[in-house]
Amino acid sequence: MADLSAATQSPSVSSTSSGAEPSAPGGAGSPGACPALGTKSCGSSCAAFSVISVVSYLILALLSVTISFRVYRSVIQAVQKSEEGHPFKSYLDVDITLSSEAFHNYVNAAMAHVNRALKLVIRLFLVEDLVDSLKLAVFMWLMTYVGAVFNGITLLILAELLIFSVPIVYEKYKTQIDHYVGIVRDQTKSIVEKIQAKLPGIAKKKAE
């Protein structure tokens, strides 16, 4: 009877154990957990991997161009039996060593920019000028929406496109762009002056 009772109870136990959900890979079953990186989310790991991939592909593209050109010139020289030498010899012979004087000049120039940036950061975050701090707050608020729509790689691609396209467009439509930019600048200056006039303490400070 004892064996019969154990036999009748075992199916219920096995069915209960088989009904248990398996734990999600990566531990804790947290949503977005990456199996390869434990509790780290796949979004952050894939974002970092994307940056590495982009840099690697850029370097590989540059190397493929230089190596292909080097091999091509070597084959041409072998066929024509010429002795032109290395195709990048003029660039290899360029002196790129940095003297101590030039290094100190670059460091001093960089330190001047760093000190200027630190003063600007302190002035903005400690609200020396309320209007400038509000401008920074509005800009950062807008950037939160930009960051929600675009990732870093997309912004880099857009920046690269703008670097090459904006100068051409500006050169072609310089007069119209300068006209509308001047209008926007005047309107912005007028709005800022009105805000400064209404803010307590700002008008008095400007008058002094």
User: For residue 23, is pLDDT > 60?
Assistant: no
Angle at 95 between CA 94 and CA 99, to 5 degrees: 160
Q: Rounded CA gap, 167 and 172, in Å?
A: 9
- Looking at 26-35, 73-82, 139-148, 154-163, which range is the least confident one? 26-35
77-81 mean pLDDT: 85
User: For residue 187, is pLDDT > 80?
Assistant: yes
pTM for this predicted structure = 0.45
User: For residue 2, is pLDDT > 60?
Assistant: no
What pLDDT shows up at residue 122?
Answer: 93
% of residues, the chain, pLDDT over 90: 14
User: For residue 118, is pLDDT > 50?
Assistant: yes
What's the per-residue H, E or C state across the chain?
CHHHHHHHHHHHHHHHHHCCCCCCCCCCCCCCECHHHCCCEHHHHHHHHHHHHHHHHHHHHHHHHHHHHHHHHHHHHHHHCCCCCCCCHHHHCCCCCCCHHHHHHHHHHHHHHHHHHHHHHHHHHCCCCHHHHHHHHHHHHHHHHHHHHCCHHHHHHHHHHHHHHHHHHHHHCHHHHHHHHHHHHHHHHHHHHHHHHHCCCHHHHHHC
Domain coordinates of the chain in residue numbers? 31-88, 104-149, 162-203
Q: Give 32-71 pLDDT, tens digit per residue.
A: 444 444 444 444 444 445 678 878 888 998 999 999 989 9
Q: Rounded CA gap, 66 and 155, in Å?
A: 28
Would you say 136 and 124 are in contact if contact means Cβ atoms under 8 Å apart? Answer: yes
Would you say 42 and 32 are in contact if contact means Cβ atoms under 8 Å apart? Answer: yes
What pLDDT shows up at residue 90?
Answer: 82
